[in-house]
C-alpha cells in the first residue's frame, strides 16, 4: 500500500500503521519514524540518501513544490542539461529544441558535482547584496523621513525667532506655515510609510527565499538544489529589477522642506514665508556587483599590466596563442618559433618551459587539471596535465590542426583550408564545419556559436551551430587577427 500522505511514516503506513514521522527522505519522498529511520540508514540501497528533520521538510515543502523536476510540456523527467541554453530538458525537448546544441550532458552527472561548484556561493553573494541593497533603501527612507521632520522643526524655530521682531502678525503666519508643512509632512510620511512597508516586505520575502534555499542546500536533493538555483537566480534578478524600477519612482525622490522669505516682506507681509517640498534624485547607490554583464569595450580601462620574464623567449620565438589556467592562476603561452610552451605566474615570473619535438600552435584550457595544444606538423593534439606539465595523451587527427578552443568538454579545432572540426575529449569527431580559409585560423566557441579569426584577412566571423555565418567584423584594428 503506497503512502497516502506526508503525515505518517511511509514504511509504517504500508503495514497499515499510522506512526508520526520524525525524518523525511528526499530520495524516497516519504516520512520515516525513528525506528524506520535506523533501518533506512542501515540498508545499503538507502544509506546514502539525504534525510532531514521532518519539521525542516514541512518548512521547505511549499518551496520545493515550486521546483519543476519534470518537463511540463511532455510530462517526462529531465534527463539532460544543455550548457548552451543553460537549461534542463527531457529527451523529447533535446531532439526538438536542442538538436544543434553542442555538449548536451547527462543531468545526473551535472547535478552530482553541482553542490561543490562556485555557483552556489555566487547565489549566496547575490542574496547578501540584494538584502544589503534593500537595507540601504530602507535606511535612506528612514533618514529622509527624519531629515524633513528635522527641517520642519528647525523652520519652526526660525519662525519663533522672527516672531519676536515683527509683531503678532507672525503668530498668524506661523500657524499658516505650520499647518501647511504639517500637511506636507503628513502626506509624505504616509507615502514613506507605504514605501517602507513594501521594502520591509520585499526584504522579508528575500530572506525567506534565502533561508529556504540554505535549508534546501542542506536537506534537498542535488536535482532540487540545481534546478531551484536557476529559478532563484531569476527571482533575484526580478527583485533587483523591481527595486531598480522602484528607485525611479517619484516617491523615491529626496525630500527637503524649504522655507523662503520674500525680500519685499514689508509690501507683501501676507506672503512673507512659504513652504514647499523639494524632490531630487535619490542618492542611494545600489550594489549590482554580482550581476553578470557585458562591458562597452570603448570604456574598458587596463587595471593590471604584467611584464613577462623575457628570458623565457628566444630570438626565434613566435607567440601564436595564450590561455589562462583557472583557478591555478597560471598563464600558458604557445611559442611556435621555439617549439615550446612557457608557463607563467600572474606576476609574469616563469614557472617552467616545456620543449616539444614539433611546433605548438594553439593552446586551450580543458579543465582545472588539463590543457590541450595543437601541433600542425605532426597533425595531432596533446593533452598536458597542469601539475608537472607532462603529456597525458595524444589525439592523432591526420590533418594539420591550427587554432584550438575547448568549451563544454568539446574541442573546436581549425583545419586550414578544410574545416572546423569538433571533437570530444576522446578524439571522436562530433561535427564538422567546412571552411575555405587558407591563412592561420583561430577558433573560439561560446554556447551554440563559434568565432573564427583570419590572420591574413584581418577579420573575425561569427557562425551558428549549423555553420551559417551570422556576421563579420573587420577594420584597421583587426589586421593580423589572431587569438580570441
CA separation for the pair 448, 408 (Å, rounded): 11
Specify the pLDDT at position 357.
93
What phi and psi, each to the nearest 5 degrees, are found at residue 52? Answer: -135, 160
* pLDDT above 50 for 2: no
Q: pLDDT of 351-367, one tens digit each?
A: 999 999 999 999 999 98
* 205-222 pLDDT tens trace: 999 999 998 988 888 888
Q: Band of the pLDDT at 306, cuts 50, 70, 90?
A: low
Query: Of 105, 101, 109, 106, which Cα lies nearest the Cα of 422?
Result: 101
Percentage of the chain lying above the pLDDT 90 cut:
28
**Closest to 317 in 3D by CA, of 374, 359, 351, 347:** 359
Q: Across-strand partners of 414?
A: 420
Which residue is associated with the grid cell 617549439?
339
Distance, CA of 131 to CA of 209 (rounded, Å): 11
Q: Under the phi-then-psi rule, with left for phi > 0, alpha for psi from -120 to 50, and beta for the rest, what region is 29? A: left
Cα 9 from Cα 126, distance rounded (Å): 38
Please report the pLDDT score of residue 299 as a whole number: 43
Is the Cβ–Cβ distance between 203 and 138 less than 8 Å?
yes
pLDDT tens by residue, 21-78: 999 998 888 999 999 999 999 999 898 888 989 988 888 777 776 678 788 888 888 9
pLDDT of residue 297: 44
Whole-number Å distance between alpha carbons of 402 and 387: 25
Amino acid at each position: 500500500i503506497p503512502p497516502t500522505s506526508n503525515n505518517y511514516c511511509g514504511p509504517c503506513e504500508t503495514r497499515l500503521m499510522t506512526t508520526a514521522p520524525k525524518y523525511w527522505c528526499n530520495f524516497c519522498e516519504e516520512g520515516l519514524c525513528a525506528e524506520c529511520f535506523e533501518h533506512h540508514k542501515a540498508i545499503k540501497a538507502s544509506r546514502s540518501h539525504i534525510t532531514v528533520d521532518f519539521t525542516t521538510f514541512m518548512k521547505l515543502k511549499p518551496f520545493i513544490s515550486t521546483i519543476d523536476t519534470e518537463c511540463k510540456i511532455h510530462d517526462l523527467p529531465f534527463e539532460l542539461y544543455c550548457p548552451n541554453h543553460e537549461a534542463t530538458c527531457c529527451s523529447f525537448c533535446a531532439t526538438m529544441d536542442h538538436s544543434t546544441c553542442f555538449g548536451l550532458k547527462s543531468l545526473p552527472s551535472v547535478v552530482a558535482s553541482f553542490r561543490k561548484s562556485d555557483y552556489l556561493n555566487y547565489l549566496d553573494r547575490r542574496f547578501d547584496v540584494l538584502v544589503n541593497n534593500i537595507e540601504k533603501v530602507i535606511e535612506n527612507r528612514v533618514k529622509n523621513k527624519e531629515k524633513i521632520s528635522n527641517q520642519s522643526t528647525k523652520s519652526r524655530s526660525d519662525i519663533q525667532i522672527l516672531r519676536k521682531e515683527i509683531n503678532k502678525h507672525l503668530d498668524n503666519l506661523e500657524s499658516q506655515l505650520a499647518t501647511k508643512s504639517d500637511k506636507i509632512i503628513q502626506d509624505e510620511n504616509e507615502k514613506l510609510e507605504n514605501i517602507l512597508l513594501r521594502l520591509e516586505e520585499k526584504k522579508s520575502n528575500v530572506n525567506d527565499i534565502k533561508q529556504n534555499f540554505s535549508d534546501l542546500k542542506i536537506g534537498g536533493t542535488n536535482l532540487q538544489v540545481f534546478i531551484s538555483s536557476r529559478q532563484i537566480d531569476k527571482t533575484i534578478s526580478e527583485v533587483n529589477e523591481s527595486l531598480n524600477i522602484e528607485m525611479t519612482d517619484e516617491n523615491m525622490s529626496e525630500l527637503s522642506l524649504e522655507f523662503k522669505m520674500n525680500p519685499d516682506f514689508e509690501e507683501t507681509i501676507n506672503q512673507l514665508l512659504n513652504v514647499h517640498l523639494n524632490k531630487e534624485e535619490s542618492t542611494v547607490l545600489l550594489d549590482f556587483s554580482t550581476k553578470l554583464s557585458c562591458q562597452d569595450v570603448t570604456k574598458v580601462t587596463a587595471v593590471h599590466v604584467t611584464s613577462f620574464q623575457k628570458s623565457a623567449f628566444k630570438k626565434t620565438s613566435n607567440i601564436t596563442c595564450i590561455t589562462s589556467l583557472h583557478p591555478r592562476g597560471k598563464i600558458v603561452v604557445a611559442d611556435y618559433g621555439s617549439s615550446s610552451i612557457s608557463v607563467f605566474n600572474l606576476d609574469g615570473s616563469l614557472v617552467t618551459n616545456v620543449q616539444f619535438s614539433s611546433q605548438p600552435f594553439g593552446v586551450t584550457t580543458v579543465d582545472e587539471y588539463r590543457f590541450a595544444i595543437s601541433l600542425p606538423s605532426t597533425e595531432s593534439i596533446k593533452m598536458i596535465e597542469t601539475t608537472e606539465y607532462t603529456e597525458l595523451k595524444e589525439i592523432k587527427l591526420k590533418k594539420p590542426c591550427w587554432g584550438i578552443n575547448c568549451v563544454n568538454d568539446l574541442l573546436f579545432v581549425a583545419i586550414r583550408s578544410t574545416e572546423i572540426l569538433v571533437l570530444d575529449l576522446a578524439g571522436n569527431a562530433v561535427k564538422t564545419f567546412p571552411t575555405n580559409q587558407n591563412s592561420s585560423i583561430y577558433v573560439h566557441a561560446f554556447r551554440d556559436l563559434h568565432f573564427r579569426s583570419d590572420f591574413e584577412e584581418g577579420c573575425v566571423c561569427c557562425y551558428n551551430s549549423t555553420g551559417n555565418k551570422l556576421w563579420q567584423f573587420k577594420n584597421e584594428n583587426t589586421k593580423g587577427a589572431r587569438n580570441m
